[in-house]
Amino acid sequence: MTERTVGGLRCSEVLAQLSDYLDGELAKPEVERIEEHLLGCPNCERFGDNFGSMVVSLQRQSDRSEAFDSDLVSRLLSQIDQLNPES
Ligand SMILES: [Zn+2]
């Protein structure tokens, strides 16, 4: 797949920061750029079913409650690893 730049980030840059994003370890401007990318990038939208929206909603859920499906996150991250063997 061809990388795209959306929200000022390339797909690989978003993927590299994805676990920090999900852990809530990124500053707000970085979070916003990643969300802009995930929601606006056709490549990232196609990971799994609406991968981008799923990741964003997961992260927002984790802000509000302790209920965080870490199994789902692990599966998402392993999917990403398969898509990006070099990372
Ligand atoms: Zn992307």
Tracing tokens 């898509």 back to the chain, one arrives at 83
Lowest mean pLDDT among 9-13, 27-31, 50-54: 50-54
DSSP letters spanning 11-74: HHHHHHHHHHHHHT-S-HHHHHHHHHHHHH-HHHHHTTTTHHHHHHHHHHHHHH-S---HHHHH
pTM of the model: 0.57
Whether 33 has a pLDDT exceeding 90, the answer reads: yes
**Alpha carbon of 12 to ligand 1 centroid (Å):** 7
Tracing tokens 């965080």 back to the chain, one arrives at 68
Residue 65 confidence (pLDDT)? 47
Q: Return left, alpha or beta for 83; rule: phi > 0 is left, psi -120 to 50 is alpha, else beta.
A: alpha
Give the pLDDT mean for 26-55.
78
**Alpha carbon of 3 to ligand 1 centroid (Å):** 7
Q: How many residues does the chain have?
A: 87
**Alpha carbon of 84 to ligand 1 centroid (Å):** 12
